[in-house]
């Protein structure tokens, strides 16, 4: 049911009222996704027509008006929920960009379709601060080369609301893995019983290469630790480029990120972690309770390895859903054993197989030689060369 401000009541008790500023948050009742236009050109149109404006704390200000998309019951449509936020579907109208003096008004008599955006709004009292810090990280990332292949485009903040406006990508890696796990369950034959659920070893290796290259860029070019890598924080943008996994994986959710280029640390957000994807060294009571504890490049490597492991097993909870909370904690705390533990219920990670070869050094104890992202990327590239013909047949 819509509340008095026309915003959704989602059944989640911690959901605060989403923004309703007349300037930024109109409602759009008669739009559906099919009416929406491509969003690829938006950032470049904006950039060529104006210098991006920033807040005093260096956050890009969203230069256009956003309208929330409603369903036929008048409820705001939602892309997803996170630990800090609710992410709404919205649109931006090109004519509002023009009214901000950014684009020359369209000369064609046919109006262009609106552009789909995702509006990440705070969902807890303590979330605005976290979202502002995420907005700072995203603003930095947007200024770097190759960001559009690595990270979902950040259009800017709706300042008064501390809501983030992002390019929308409706498919997450988590949903992709879940749907392929379902397909794999119904099409089990002897030949594919030990293949990654997302298709084949070649497809999995291509995904691994894309994700690990992105993480290498994040650590070494963007000097940023993500801090919460998991399939739900990776969105998929279809691509026609080379490779057998036909999407660009884009990272989202920088709410736990750390800027390696400054001494300043982002507040400990480990309370919002997903246990099974978290590196074991972060899971001690001492680390969890220390306000100065942060994720690291090594813990990102571990979480990315679990993300890739799950793309092979299809089990997005990492361990089977029947496992109790205490068992999950126990397995997570002995994370360096994860490949062995997973082999006890999945045949899709055979010893000496491609998945094991890529992941084994990435799940080592952090002080026992866990691989760095640059060495990890190199390892995958060597494997791609070595197995070229071989993998095509797998
Ligand atoms: N740009 C986007 N396009 C489409 N869906 C999105 C986008 N950003 C987030 N979502 C959806 O919203 C969910 C929560 O977003 P996230 O950034 O992870 O929030 P939190 O920081 O609160 O965990 C995601 O798992 C995803 O399903
Ligand atoms: Mg998230």
pLDDT single digits (tens) 294-341: 899 999 999 999 999 999 999 999 999 999 999 999 999 999 999 999
- CATH of region 25-167: 3.30.200.20
Q: Ligand 1 pocket, 176 CB below 6 A?
A: no
Q: Is the pLDDT of residue 366 over 70?
A: yes
Q: Ligand 1 pocket, 274 CB below 6 A?
A: no
Nearest bound ligand to the CA of residue 316: 1
Phi, psi of 230 (to 5 degrees): -170, 165
Q: SS3 for 3-54, per residue? A: CCCCCECCCCCCCCCCCCCCCCEEEECCCCHHHCECCHHHHHHHHHHCCCCE
pLDDT of residue 22: 34
Q: Is the pLDDT of residue 2 over 70?
A: no
pLDDT of residue 215: 98
pLDDT digits (tens, 9 = 90+) for 163-180: 999 999 999 999 999 999
* 3-state class (DSSP) for residue 68: strand
Q: Is the pLDDT of residue 30 over 50?
A: no
25-167 and 173-392, same CATH topology: no
pLDDT digits (tens, 9 = 90+) for 191-226: 667 899 998 999 999 999 999 999 999 999 999 999
Least confident of 155-164, 170-179, 350-359, 372-381: 155-164
293-297, 349-353, 373-377, 390-394 — most confident range:
373-377
At how many degrees (to 10) do helices 201-220 and 373-386 cross?
Answer: 150
Give the domain 173-392 fold. Transferase(Phosphotransferase); domain 1 (1.10.510)
pLDDT of residue 191: 66
Answer left, alpha or beta for residue 282, where phi above 0 means left and psi between -120 and 50 means alpha.
alpha
Q: Is the pLDDT of residue 23 over 90?
A: no
Q: Which residue has the higher pLDDT, 378 or 243?
A: 378
Q: How far is the centre of ligand 2, averaged over its atoms, from the C-alpha of 236 (Å)?
A: 15
Q: d(Cα 36, Cα 136) in Å, to the nearest integer?
A: 28
Least confident of 257-266, 335-344, 352-361: 257-266
The domain ranges of the chain are: 25-167, 173-392
Q: How far is the centre of ligand 2, averaged over its atoms, from the C-alpha of 152 (Å)?
A: 13
Q: Is the pLDDT of residue 103 over 70?
A: no
pLDDT digits (tens, 9 = 90+) for 70-89: 999 999 999 999 999 999 99
Q: How far is the centre of ligand 1, averaged over its atoms, from the C-alpha of 270 (Å)?
A: 18
Q: Is the pLDDT of residue 36 over 60?
A: no
Mean of the per-residue pLDDT values for the chain? 83
Nearest residue CA, atom 11 of ligand 1?
Answer: 80
The DSSP secondary structure of 135-184, one letter per residue, reads HHHHHHHHTSTTHHHHBPPEEEEEGGGTEEEEE----BHHHHHHHHHHHH
pLDDT of residue 350: 95
Q: d(Cα 69, Cα 61) in Å, to the nearest integer?
A: 21
Q: Is the pLDDT of residue 60 over 60?
A: yes
Q: Ligand 1 pocket, 166 CB below 6 A?
A: yes
Q: Ligand 1 pocket, 232 CB below 6 A?
A: yes
Nearest residue CA, atom 17 of ligand 1?
Answer: 253
Nearest residue CA, atom 6 of ligand 1?
Answer: 79
Q: d(Cα 351, Cα 84) in Å, to the nearest integer?
A: 39
pLDDT of residue 252: 98
Mean pLDDT of 356-381: 97
Nearest bound ligand to the CA of residue 87: 1
pLDDT of residue 147: 87
Mean pLDDT of 141-153: 93
């Amino acid at each position: 049911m819509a509340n008095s401000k026309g915003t959704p009541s989602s059944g989640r008790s911690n959901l605060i009222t989403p923004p309703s500023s007349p300037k930024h948050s109109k409602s759009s009742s008669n739009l559906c996704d099919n009416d929406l236009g491509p969003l690829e050109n938006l950032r470049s149109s904006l950039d060529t027509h104006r210098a991006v404006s920033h807040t005093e704390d260096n956050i890009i200000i969203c230069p256009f008006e956003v309208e929330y998309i409603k369903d036929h019951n008048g409820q705001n449509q939602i892309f997803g929920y996170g630990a800090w936020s609710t992410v709404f579907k919205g649109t931006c109208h090109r004519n509002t960009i023009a009214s901000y003096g950014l684009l020359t008004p369209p000369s064609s008599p046919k109006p262009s379709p609106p552009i789909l955006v995702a509006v990440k709004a705070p969902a807890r009292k303590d979330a605005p601060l976290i979202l502002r810090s995420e907005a700072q990280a995203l603003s930095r990332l947007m200024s770097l080369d190759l960001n559009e292949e690595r990270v979902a485009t950040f259009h800017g903040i709706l300042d008064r609301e501390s809501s983030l406006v992002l390019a929308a990508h409706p498919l997450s890696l988590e949903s992709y893995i879940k749907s392929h796990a379902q397909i794999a369950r119904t099409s089990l034959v002897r030949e594919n019983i030990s293949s990654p659920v997302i298709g084949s070893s070649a497809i999995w290796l291509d995904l691994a290469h894309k994700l690990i290259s992105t993480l290498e860029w994040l650590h070494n070019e963007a000097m940023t630790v993500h801090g919460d890598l998991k399939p739900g924080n990776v969105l998929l943008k279809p691509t026609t480029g080379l490779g057998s996994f036909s999407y660009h994986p884009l990272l989202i959710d920088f709410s736990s990120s750390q800027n390696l280029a400054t001494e300043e640390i982002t507040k400990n957000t480990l309370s919002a972690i997903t246990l099974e994807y978290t590196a074991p060294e972060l899971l001690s009571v001492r680390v969890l309770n220390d306000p100065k504890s942060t994720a690291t490049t090594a813990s990102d490597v571990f979480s990315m390895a679990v993300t890739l492991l799950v793309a092979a097993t299809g089990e997005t909870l990492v361990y089977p859903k029947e496992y109790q909370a205490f068992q999950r904690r126990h397995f997570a705390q002995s994370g360096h054993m994860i490949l062995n533990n997973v082999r006890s219920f999945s045949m899709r990670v055979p010893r000496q197989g491609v998945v094991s070869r890529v992941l084994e050094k990435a799940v080592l104890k952090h002080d026992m030689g866990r691989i760095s992202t640059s060495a990890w990327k190199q390892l995958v590239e060597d494997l791609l060369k070595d197995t070229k013909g071989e993998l095509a047949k797998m």
